[in-house]
Amino acid sequence: MTNNLESISLIATYSAMAVYTLAFILFTVDLAGRAASDGQSPPTRWLRSGMAVLLLGFAIHFGAVITRGISAHRVPWANMYEFGLTATLVLVGVFLGINIWRDVRFVGAFVSGFAILALGIVAVNFYVAVSPLPPALQSYWLVIHVCVAVLGTGFFATGAALSASQLFQQSREEGKLQTRSWRFLAAFPSSETLEALAYRIIVIGFVFWTFTVIAGGIWAERAWGRYWGWDTKEVWSFIIWTLFAGYIHARATRGWRGRPAAILSLVGFGAVLFNYGIVNVFFKGLHAYSGL
Q: Are 45 and 90 in contact (CB under 8 A)?
A: no
- Using CA atoms, how far residue 101 sits from 94, 98, 133, 200, 265, in Å, is 11, 5, 38, 12, 22
Indicate which single residue of 121, 143, 190, 224 sits in contact with another protein (rule: CB under 8 A).
224
The piece of 18-26, 37-45, 91-99, 231-239 that touches another protein (CB under 8 A) is 231-239
Which residues touch 199 (CB under 8 Å, ≥6 apart)? 159, 248, 251, 261
Build a one-symbol-per-residue string for 89-128: x at contacts with another protein by CB under 8 A, - elsewhere.
---------------------------------------x
- Shorter beta-carbon distance to another protein: residue 45 or 222: 222
> What is the distance between the alpha carbons of residues 114 and 95, in angstroms, rounded to a whole number?
12
x/- track of binding to another protein for residues 259-278 (CB under 8 A): -----x------x-------
292 binds another protein per the rule CB under 8 A: no
Contact by Cβ (8 Å): 195, 261: yes
Closest CA to 146 of 212, 190, 207, 51: 212
**Single residue of 1, 135, 175, 180 touching another protein by CB under 8 A:** 135
| Piece of the chain touching another protein by CB under 8 A; list 115-123, 156-164, 169-177, 202-210 | 202-210
Q: What is the rounded CA–CA span in Å between residue 59 and residue 246? A: 36
Judged by CB under 8 A, the stretch of 29-37, 104-112, 160-168, 281-289 that binds another protein is 281-289
Distances (CA, A) of 33 to 44, 67, 111, 156: 8, 38, 19, 29
CA distances from 125 to 80, 136, 239 (A): 10, 24, 26
Do 92 and 115 touch, CB atoms closer than 8 A? yes
Could you say which of 129, 176, 270, 281 contacts another protein (CB under 8 A)?
A: 129
Residue 192 CB, nearest approach to another protein (Å): 10
**Closest approach of another protein to the CB of residue 188, in Å:** 17
Q: In the 8-state DSSP scheme, what is residue 76?
A: S
For another protein, the binding residues in 141-180 under the rule CB under 8 A are 141
**Chain residues that interact with another protein, rule: CB under 8 A:** 128-129, 131-136, 138-139, 141, 196, 199-200, 203, 207, 210-211, 214, 217, 219, 221-227, 229-232, 235-236, 238-239, 242-243, 245-246, 249-257, 264, 271, 279, 283-286, 290
